């Protein structure tokens, strides 16, 4: 499908020059057969592009002049993906005027008018039959995301005021490198000029961003990716825990869907999970919902806490007493037989 899309875009780009092209010339430019060219022209017409054809000697293809053409070239699956993406983003709130969720909501209601005529009924059907539950996340504006993105693209130093987790506000001067969307939060990874070090900033705590027009030479990223650097920072000071769960990866993923976990299937019904935690209580709660056997590999402090809680559960349900009584009964019976 990627080859078809690339071919279609190349064909559209060629025809948008405005001049007529013979079938042989187009086929040669696109390196396709005449039959494939005809199919691609039919696809363009299906998307709403007015491709005129003149058959016979001196025949050609060209886009009709003075006609409004749809700006999007999307196939059926891409329309569904685009609408679902907008719906998901619109559900991240609370909804605030100027927020990225508000922009997504407006775009969600407009996108079908830019689609080819044959795809508009499907878009309308999706919108009419879809609901998304709200997901609460910090407010970030589309304007802020756009400003930071432009600074990254043009390698411009960015200045802004930043409020940290303790409520302290400082002025920052940063070489912006990447924006990262992670677990419903937006982050900026950049080189803090004053502190001469890499820093990660929550975009919802950033105000008054200003592109300075001062350019910087790119530095090598401090990790394989900005996302990896962010995850390393979020996991700093936490306990690294590995769990082998006797359950399918899909079930484990669903139970841990809101957590930053590495999940790998090691078999049809066995899954290895790696995560960084600051609370053993949180882990046990989610494992309980899985209703599956598991093995935990962690530091001694974490494992001891789990052992202690397991003992409390046994005592709370009387299981320890029952087990002890059963053991004593078996021993007495054996002695009697001896």
Q: Which of 67-71, 129-133, 136-140 has the lowest mean pLDDT?
A: 67-71
Return the pLDDT at 320. 60
Task: Name which residue leads in pLDDT, 262 or 110.
Answer: 262
Return the pLDDT at 335. 34
- Confidence bin at 214 (pLDDT 50/70/90): very high
Return the pLDDT at 71. 56
What is the average per-residue pLDDT within 158-166?
A: 95
Is residue 75's pLDDT more than 80? no
Best-predicted range by mean pLDDT (69-73, 101-105, 110-114, 262-266)? 262-266
CA-based torsion, 172, 175, 181, 183: positive or negative: negative
- Confidence bin at 334 (pLDDT 50/70/90): very low
Q: What does the pLDDT look like over 275-316, one tens digit per residue?
A: 888 778 878 888 888 889 999 998 888 889 889 998 998 999
CB 246 within 8 A of CB 293: yes
Q: What does the pLDDT look like over 13-26, one tens digit per residue?
A: 888 877 889 999 99
Return the pLDDT at 97. 74
Task: Name which residue leads in pLDDT, 190 or 258.
Answer: 190
Is residue 176's pLDDT more than 80? yes
What is the average per-residue pLDDT within 200-216?
A: 96
Is residue 197's pLDDT more than 90? yes
């Amino acid at each position: 499908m990627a080859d078809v899309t690339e071919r279609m875009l190349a064909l559209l780009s060629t025809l948008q020059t405005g001049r007529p092209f013979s079938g042989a010339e187009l086929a040669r430019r696109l390196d396709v057969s005449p039959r494939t060219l005809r199919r691609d022209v039919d696809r363009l017409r299906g998307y709403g592009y007015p491709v005129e054809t003149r058959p016979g000697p001196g025949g050609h293809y060209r886009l009709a002049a003075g006609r409004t053409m749809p700006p999007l070239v999307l196939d059926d699956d891409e329309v569904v993906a685009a609408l679902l993406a907008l719906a998901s983003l619109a559900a991240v709130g609370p909804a605030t005027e100027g927020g990225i969720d508000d922009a997504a909501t407006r775009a969600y209601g407009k996108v079908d008018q830019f689609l080819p005529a044959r795809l508009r009924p499907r878009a309308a059907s999706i919108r009419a039959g879809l609901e998304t539950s709200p997901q609460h996340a910090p407010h970030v504006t589309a304007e802020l995301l756009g400003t930071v993105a432009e600074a990254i693209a043009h390698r411009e130093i960015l200045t802004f005021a930043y409020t940290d987790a303790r409520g302290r506000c400082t002025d920052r001067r940063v070489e912006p490198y990447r924006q990262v969307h992670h677990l419903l939060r937006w982050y900026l990874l950049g080189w803090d000029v004053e502190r001469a070090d890499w820093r990660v900033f929550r975009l919802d705590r950033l105000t008054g961003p200003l592109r300075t027009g001062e350019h910087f030479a790119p530095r090598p990223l401090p990790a394989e990716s900005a996302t990896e650097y962010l995850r390393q920072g979020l996991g700093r000071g936490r306990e690294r825990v590995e769990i082998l769960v006797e359950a399918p990866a899909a079930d484990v993923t669903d139970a841990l869907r809101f957590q930053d976990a590495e999940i790998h299937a090691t078999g049809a019904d066995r899954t290895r999970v790696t995560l960084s935690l600051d609370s053993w209580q949180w882990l046990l709660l989610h494992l309980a919902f899985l209703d599956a056997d598991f093995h935990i590999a962690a530091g001694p402090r974490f494992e001891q806490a789990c052992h202690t809680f397991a003992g409390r559960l046994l005592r709370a349900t009387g299981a320890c007493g029952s087990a002890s009584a059963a053991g004593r009964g078996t021993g007495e019976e054996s002695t009697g037989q001896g």
